[in-house]
Amino acid sequence: LCRLEHVPTWEDADEIASAERPLGRTFFQRAVRDLQAAQAAASALQPPPQLAAQ
């Protein structure tokens, strides 16, 4: 059909290029960095003052 309509076609090599960095690993590393930053920020906060027991 493409040849009849004069649409250029390309030969498909059926090859999948390997990713430089797998997508899942990138998101996982970002999530770990975000978690570590949140933990550091939470530990830097001072706990609220405790009310004296009556």
52 within domain boundaries: no
Tens digit of each residue's pLDDT (9 = 90 or more) over 12-53 = 666 666 666 677 788 899 999 999 999 998 887 766 667 666
Tokens matching residue 3: 């040849």
Q: Domain for residue 30, yes or no?
A: yes
- Could you tell me if residue 54 is inside a domain? no
- Where would I find the H helices in 1-54? 23-44
The residue that leads in pLDDT, 47 or 5, is: 5
Token digits for 35?
A: 């978690």
pLDDT at 3 over 60: yes
Task: Show the domain range for 28.
Answer: 2-45
Nearest to 28 by CA among 18, 36, 20, 40: 36
Asked whether residue 50 is domain-assigned, the answer is no
Taking the whole predicted model, whether its pTM rises above 0.85 is answered as no
pLDDT of residue 9: 67
| Domain-located, residue 13 | yes
Domain count within the chain: 1
